[in-house]
Each structure stands twice: as C-alpha cells, then as structure tokens.
Chains A and B, each alone.
Chain A
Amino acid sequence: METAIFLLFAALAVVSAVVVVAHRNPVHATMSLVLTLFSVAVLFVLLGAPFLAALQILIYAGAILVLFLFVIMLLNVQREETPYHGQPVQRWAAILGAAVFCGMLAMLLFRSSLASNGGAPLGPLTESLVSFKGLAADLFSVDLLPFEIVGLLLLVAVIGASAVAKRPTAEERLAPGRRLPEGPLDGAEDQPR
C-alpha cells in the first residue's frame, strides 16, 4: 500500500517536474510545479512529516506559487522570447551536467552504507518525529535563534520586495539620469549574442 502510494506520487513528481522545466508556457510550468509540490507533500506524509506536508502546501503552493502566477500574469510573460540559436553548448552542457550529477549521486548512494542497509525497512514512526509538539518545542528552544533570524529575514524580504517593486513616483521618473522606457527597447544593442 505504502509502496504503491510512493510509486504513484514519485512518478507524478518526476513527470510534473519534467513538465515544469520543459513546458514553454510559464503558467503551465507553475501549475505543474504545484503538482510536484503536492506529490512531495504526500511523500512528506509518508516520511512522517505531516506538519511539513501541510506547510508545503499552505506556504509553497498556497502562497509562493500564487505569487509566481500573479507576477507571470502581471508581466504577461508569454512564451520565451529568444530562440536557442547560438547557445547549443549551454543547453547540452546543462542537460549532460544534470545527468552526470544524477549518475554521481547514484554511485555515491551505492557505494555508501545506504547500499547495504538503505534497502532494509525502516522502523516504525516515532511520536517524537511526527508530533507537532516536538517540532514546536525544538523551534522555540533549541532553534530559537535561527527561528528569530528567519523572522527577521522575512521582514527584511517584505520591506525589500516592496521597495524594489514599488512603482516610481512621478518625480522619480522624471529625475535626471533615470531612463524608464515606456515601450519595448530598441533591439540593436540588446540582440542576444
């Protein structure tokens, strides 16, 4: 039963991940990523981390990716603008590199002790691993400092994001030394090499 669930969602995750990187339409890609996240969340539940699964969906799927979609629609990002010409090396090197990475990881996996005992069934889930209380207790005692720092980071990120994305006021737009093109830029200097 568990194996079946794993296989189902693992396959779903991989397929949707491929769609994420392969689909030319960013909205589809984002939607596909939602699916991947959902699958991974299910795997989190299998691994005894229901809290993280919930967070994954609540924060990642429910907030971050909505933000992505929001921006995609706001900027009206259509299909990718420039074709691949002139950069075959980049593409194939990247894909090859990813493959090599996979291979190396697999090699590492089979060389390590996981190869011998990794296949053995795991022990039963412990209460301390699954319960929210244990996680919360750690978060507010052992890891209090990182927790606070993360809070600070989020605050900074909020302020920074609003500062960066803020539409310049009329004066700022007219200030000397600023160039805010209203239409598409002339292509000459921007032609991809």
Chain B
Amino acid sequence: MSPELTANLAATAAKMVVALGMLLTVVPVMVWVERRGSALMQDRPGPNRLGPFGLFQALADALKFFFKEDVTPTAVDRVMYLAAPVLVLLPALTTFSVIPFGPDLLWNGRRIPLLVADVDAGVLLFLALGSLGVYGLVMAGYGSNNKFSLLGSLRASAQLISYELALTLAVVAAILPVGSFRLPDVVAYQQAHVWTVLPQILGFLVFLVASFAETNRLPFDLAEAESELIAGFHTEYSAMRFASFFMAEYIAMTSLSALGVTLYFGGWSLPGIHLGNGWLGAVLGLLVLTAKIAVALAVFVWVRWTFPRFRYDQLMRLGWKVLLPIALVNFLLTAVLTLLGKI
C-alpha cells in the first residue's frame, strides 16, 4: 500500500467516523427533543425523571430496545422481513456521505475535502440512494405478511415516488445556477453569492413540504397512521428491528435536513465570514452545520405536533396537482433566468 493510499483511506475513515457519529448521536437527542418538544407544545412536563431535563430517557429507551425479546412472526417472508430494517437504514446513513461539513482542510500539504464521498454526482447520488429507501418500506410491508403492513408500504411507496418528483425538481432548480452536482461547489457558490433560499423561495417551500412526505413525517405519515393501520409497515417488528425503523426515520430526517441547509442555507458556511482552511475552520464549519441542522430538525418537530394528518387522496392531490406544477414552473423559471444570466 502506497502512503498516498494509506493517507486517503485514513482520511476517509476519519470523515466516516465524524459523519456516523453525528448521525448516530442525533437519534437519542432527537428522541428527547421530540418528547420534550411535544410536551412543551402541549403544555405538559414530558420525560423529566432521568438525568437533567430527563436527558437520559433516550438512553433508557435505547437500552429497552436492545434487551427486548426479538419476535419474528411465523408467517413472514423471512428474507424480506429480515432484510427490510437494514435496507431502511442503509440509504439513510449513506446519503449523508455527500454532505460537506466544513471547508477543505489543508493538512500536511494535502487538501482534504470535508465530506465522505467527494464525487461529481453528489446531489444525484444523494437522490439515487434516497430513492432506494422506499424498498426497505416495501419489503417490510410485504415481508410482514400483514394486510396493514402491506397497505402501509403501498401507501409509502406511492407517496415516496410521487413526492420524489417534486423534491428532485426543486433540488435541480436549486443547483441549476451553480452548474455542478457537487455539494461543496454549491456551498462555495452560496458563499460567493447569496443563500439560495432567497432566489429559490418557491423551490424551498416545495422542498420543505416534500421533505415531510419523503420522511413519512406528520402531516404525511399515512404509511404508519396508527389510527388506520396500527403502525403501518413496521407493525410486525419489535425490539432492535423496530428500533432500526425508528432510527432510520430520524437519520433520514437528519440527512434530508443536511441536504436542505446545504442547498438553501449555505451549508457549513456563514454569509460574509471566511472560516479558513485550518482545523479551526473545520470545527467551526461542523458546528455551524450542526446548528443549522438542529434548527431544521426543530422545524420537523414543530410541524409534527402542529398539523393534523392529511387524508391519502389529499396527499396525492397535493403532490401531483400542487407541488409538481409549482416545482415545474419554478424549474422552468430558474432555467430561463439562468440562461439569461440573471442569477
């Protein structure tokens, strides 16, 4: 192994540790935020016994999942049933790899871009991997051999491919002026110009709404609507497998939030402030990004406990008849303006 390769591998491994650590710590934090947040909104205490502000409640929950008995129903399609949680988790985790979390690090004379997978097709890769997430849901629903699960996964798959269109169009519109699929380029562009959210306010709204649908969050959580489908596609899951779905949801939220803030709110950068290419810059960038993601996640929680659930036909109508046309118009406008050099 050449030292070059060794260095590269080491750098990549380090970045992966950072990214994974971030994503995995997000989950218990988010569990706590979700519970305390909802309590706050509903004017009740929420979990407040374990640790300061009940912070350890999440740990207790995690421990509970670890030690619960893992029940596999006899009638399930075993391959599907067992593969589903992994498949749900996989895209959620991998998508984050294209998100830059700081300015390029100059270290030992080499330039290390602070993202796990620095590929040209970054945004595309994100979307492609994200679109694979639907398979986890479908397999879970089908493999459970349960009509509620099946209906849930049917709803999920239809919902996902419907909103993926609007989401993708919004994303493409956002990166159109940049002229690159690489997210670091997108951040650099926003540093040089202005946060994309300003010119792309329409696209951002589409992205925002579609994000809720893509992550199966309220008000679009019809795939697991407890009042209709018990728990939808993960009805038959328990213990760690159930936890996987749980984690996947929050990680997907985090990844999508990361994409959102990177696309529309400058990512790790702050307007007008140059963070530099040293270690300080890297840490600051990571902090800035984390802060922005935290705000975005707060919005997710806020929305969840604020809006009622949609009906399925309303969901579809919104997706196809409102969001898609808006996204198309936005895309077209952006394309024309970009062509004219106005952006």
| A62, B124: Cα distance in complex, Å | 12
- Which residue of B121, B129, B139, B168 is within 8 Å of A31 (Cβ)? B139
CB of A31 within 8 A of CB of B80, answer yes
| A69, B142: Cα distance in complex, Å | 10
Smallest CB gap from A130: residue in B: B120
B294 CB, nearest partner CB in chain A, Å: 29
Looking at A28, A50, A62, which has the most chain B CB atoms within 10 Å of its CB? A62
| A73, B158: Cα distance in complex, Å | 11
CB of B120 within 8 A of CB of A62, answer no
- Given known pairs A54-B128, A57-B128, A74-B154, the reply for A66 and B134 (CB within 8 Å) is yes
| A130, B121: Cα distance in complex, Å | 11
| A57, B127: Cα distance in complex, Å | 9
CB of B138 within 8 A of CB of A66, answer yes
B108 CB, nearest partner CB in chain A, Å: 24
B257 part of interface (Cβ distance < 8 Å) = no
CB of A27 within 8 A of CB of B128, answer no
CB of B138 within 8 A of CB of A69, answer yes
- Given known pairs A57-B128, A61-B132, A63-B131, the reply for A73 and B154 (CB within 8 Å) is yes
| A132, B125: Cα distance in complex, Å | 13
Interface string of A52-65 (1 = CB under 8 A from B): 01110110011100
Smallest CB gap from B179: residue in A: A133
CB of A67 within 8 A of CB of B161, answer yes
| A66, B132: Cα distance in complex, Å | 9
CB of A69 within 8 A of CB of B128, answer no
Scan residues 63-121 of chain A and give those whose CB is less than 8 A from a CB of chain B: 63, 66-67, 69-70, 73-74
| A67, B131: Cα distance in complex, Å | 12
B95 part of interface (Cβ distance < 8 Å) = no
Interface string of B112-153 (1 = CB under 8 A from A): 000000011100110111011011001101100000001001
CB of B119 within 8 A of CB of A50, answer yes
- Size of the B side of the interface (Cβ < 8 Å), in residues, is 29
B9 CB, nearest partner CB in chain A, Å: 12
CB of B124 within 8 A of CB of A66, answer no
A34 part of interface (Cβ distance < 8 Å) = yes
Smallest CB gap from A27: residue in B: B142
Interface string of A18-33 (1 = CB under 8 A from B): 0000000101100100
B221 part of interface (Cβ distance < 8 Å) = no
- Given known pairs A54-B125, A58-B131, A132-B121, the reply for A66 and B161 (CB within 8 Å) is yes
A147 part of interface (Cβ distance < 8 Å) = no
CB of B160 within 8 A of CB of A66, answer yes
Dominant SS among interface residues on chain A: helix
| A131, B180: Cα distance in complex, Å | 11
CB of B124 within 8 A of CB of A58, answer yes
| A184, B189: Cα distance in complex, Å | 61
**A34: chain B residues within 8 A (beta carbon):** 132, 135
Interface string of A119-132 (1 = CB under 8 A from B): 00000000000111
B79 part of interface (Cβ distance < 8 Å) = yes
| A51, B120: Cα distance in complex, Å | 9
CB of A58 within 8 A of CB of B128, answer yes
CB of B131 within 8 A of CB of A61, answer yes
| A54, B123: Cα distance in complex, Å | 10
- Given known pairs A31-B139, A62-B131, A132-B120, the reply for A70 and B157 (CB within 8 Å) is yes
**A53: chain B residues within 8 A (beta carbon):** 121
**A132: chain B residues within 8 A (beta carbon):** 120-121, 181
B164 part of interface (Cβ distance < 8 Å) = yes
CB of B134 within 8 A of CB of A62, answer yes
**A130: chain B residues within 8 A (beta carbon):** 120
Smallest CB gap from B158: residue in A: A70
Scan residues 80-130 of chain B and give those whose CB is less than 8 A from a CB of chain A: 80, 119-121, 124-125, 127-129
**A131: chain B residues within 8 A (beta carbon):** 120
**A73: chain B residues within 8 A (beta carbon):** 138, 141-142, 150, 153-154
A49 CB, nearest partner CB in chain B, Å: 11
CB of A31 within 8 A of CB of B135, answer yes
The 9 lowest CB-CB distance pairs between A and B, nearest first, are A62-B131, A54-B124, A57-B128, A58-B128, A54-B121, A54-B128, A66-B161, A50-B121, A69-B138
- A contact residues vs B (CB 8 Å cutoff): 25, 27-28, 31, 34, 50-51, 53-55, 57-58, 61-63, 66-67, 69-70, 73-74, 130-132
> Could you jot down 5 A-B contacts, CB within 8 Å?
A27-B77, A57-B132, A61-B135, A62-B134, A73-B153
7 additional A-B pairs beyond A54-B128, A73-B154, beta carbons within 8 Å, are: A61-B128, A61-B131, A62-B127, A63-B164, A66-B131, A66-B157, A69-B157
